[in-house]
Amino acid sequence: MNDIKEMNVKRIFGAALTVLGAASLIYAAAVFVSTAGDNQDIKSLIIFGTLGLLFFAAGISLVRTTKDEA
């Protein structure tokens, strides 16, 4: 019974990472569209884009590798 709860926590955490990564990627896309070449815009674009990709990939990987057991 304890293993099932642990797997549910992993799936929830994976889903949260995926949503956070997707939101960060959407924000990076919005910054990219509105970038006028300012150094601050480019820095935030790189930071949010990198973190978004990292969180999104980690969340998808965590959801996919967690087995469903009923």
Distance CA 38, CA 29 (A): 15
Q: In this predicted structure, what is the pLDDT of residue 53?
A: 96
Per-position pLDDT tens, the chain of length 70: 566 666 788 889 999 999 999 999 999 999 888 877 777 888 889 999 999 999 999 999 998 888 776 5
> Quick one: which of 2, 5, 25, 7 has its CA closest to 64?
7
What is the value of pTM for the model shown? Answer: 0.81
If you average pLDDT over every residue of the chain, what do you get? 86
Rg of the chain in Å (alpha carbons)? 16
